[in-house]
């Protein structure tokens, strides 16, 4: 792609319990762009149904700077759905997606753009070489990436997240992916094009704490891997595995009892153990099938990815897509 002397860059940042970060996020983006003469930006802040005062903060900021655009979702749809809302409304030549909590540093935006220009890339992902996240989170994320790499044909760099810059052409392609189970980074990689990587410094959270508890992270990973969610069906898996585990312990007990005390009916132990164990496994695998059926169910409903309550500073007021 030919160097663009005056690119217009859309920055999309979903916010959920991030209100205390927004003023600082805006300040640092403005100062990062001061070093990119000729370039212009729009900052699209998507309030993902935050229970805190994120939207009020966005309204205040949008009044003081018309480059700040706000999208208020009707409820919490999840980070990746919120990103989609922002990306659907972005009209820049390039689109940057980043976290609002300043873990993705605004100072890296000019570097991402330069890398795209210098390497003729359509997308450049930031590599968080030293992640500023709890050890447990980093380990889980590694395990998740390993699984995803094994299960999918996409080669995924474990250090990347959503922080990236993508050309309008890539964004146009990405917008065509309308499935309800979504991950921005994985979706962009699926689109193909020329992908570059840039090692960046990862920041500590500016304020507040991560909205991803251990449970939520595991849940999100399961969602991405099977691309689905359906609680009762997941419960079937849990019940199945619990039964098998109990049968396993019970089996051990029966075997020991068989060895040390005489048991009147021969063959009884193995029959009982296998009935329980296999029943558990059958339930577990039915649950796994159910997970995929649940995914099909979610997708055939064809519901919108998000619902918008209000937008701010866009040329025309846009309703939910
Ligand atoms: N986020 C969101 N919706 C959610 C949870 C998180 O839009 O339901 C946003 C959040 O505001 C932040 C980004 O996603 O900009 C990453 O969230 P967080 O910092 O909590 O996650 P972590 O950095 O620990 O992965
Ligand atoms: Mg964070």
Hey, whose CA ends up nearest to atom 16 of ligand 1?
Answer: 99
pLDDT (tens digit per residue) in 186-225: 899 989 999 999 999 888 777 777 777 777 777 777 666 6
HSE toward the beta carbon, residue 154, CA cutoff 13 A: 16
| 17 CA → ligand 1 middle, Å | 8
What's the pLDDT tens digit per position in 263-311? Answer: 666 777 778 877 887 787 787 777 778 777 888 888 899 999 999 999 9
Query: CB within 8 A of 156, min separation 6: which ones?
Result: 145, 148, 149, 186, 189
- Give the pLDDT confidence score for residue 228 in this predicted structure: 42
* Ligand 1 pocket, mutate which of 13, 17, 18 (most atoms under 8 A from CB): 18
Q: What is the pLDDT of residue 210?
A: 78
Helix, strand, coil abundance in the chain, percent, nearest 5: 50, 15, 35
- pLDDT value, residue 238: 77
Tokens of 172: 């146009």
> Which residues line the pocket of ligand 1, CB cutoff 6 A?
13-16, 18, 48, 76, 78-79, 82, 99-101, 103, 210-212
Residue 259 has a pLDDT of 85
Residue identified by tokens 């980043």 is 98
Q: Which atom of ligand 1 is closest in space to residue 210's alpha carbon?
A: 20
Q: What is the value of pTM for the model shown?
A: 0.80
pLDDT at 97: 98
Low-confidence stretches of the chain (pLDDT < 50) are: 1-2, 228-229, 319-321
Domain annotation for the chain: domains and CATH numbers? 8-229+303-312 (3.90.550.10)
């Amino acid at each position: 792609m030919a160097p663009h002397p005056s690119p217009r860059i859309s920055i999309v940042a979903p916010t959920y319990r991030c209100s205390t970060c927004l003023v600082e996020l805006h300040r640092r983006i403005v100062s990062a762009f001061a070093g990119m003469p000729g370039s212009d930006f729009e900052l699209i802040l998507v309030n993902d149904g935050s229970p805190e005062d994120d939207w009020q903060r966005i309204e205040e900021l949008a009044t003081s700077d018309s480059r700040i655009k706000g999208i208020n979702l009707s409820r919490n749809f999840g980070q990746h759905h919120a990103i989609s809302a922002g990306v659907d409304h972005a009209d820049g030549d390039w689109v940057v997606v980043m976290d609002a909590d300043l873990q993705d540093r605004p100072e890296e935006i000019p570097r991402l753009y330069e890398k795209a220009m210098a390497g003729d890339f359509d997308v450049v992902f930031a590599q968080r070489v030293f992640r500023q996240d709890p050890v447990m989170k980093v380990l889980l994320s590694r395990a998740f990436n390993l699984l995803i790499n094994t299960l999918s044909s996409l080669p995924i760099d474990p250090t990347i997240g959503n922080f990236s810059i993508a050309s309008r052409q890539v964004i146009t392609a990405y917008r065509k992916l309308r499935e309800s189970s979504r991950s921005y980074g994985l979706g962009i990689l699926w689109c193909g094009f020329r992908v570059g990587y840039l090692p960046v410094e990862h920041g500590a959270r500016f304020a507040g704490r991560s909205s991803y508890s251990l449970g939520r992270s595991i849940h999100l990973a399961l969602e991405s891997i099977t691309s689905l969610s359906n609680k009762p069906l997941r419960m079937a898996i849990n019940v199945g595995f619990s039964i098998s585990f109990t049968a396993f312990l019970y089996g051990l007990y029966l075997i020991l009892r068989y060895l040390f005390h005489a048991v009147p009916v021969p063959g009884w132990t193995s029959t009982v153990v296998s009935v329980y164990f296999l029943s558990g496994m059958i339930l577990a695998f039915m649950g796994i099938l159910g997970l995929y059926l649940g995914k099909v169910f979610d997708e055939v409903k064809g519901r919108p990815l998000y619902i918008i309550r209000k937008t701010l500073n866009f040329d025309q007021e846009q309703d939910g897509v």
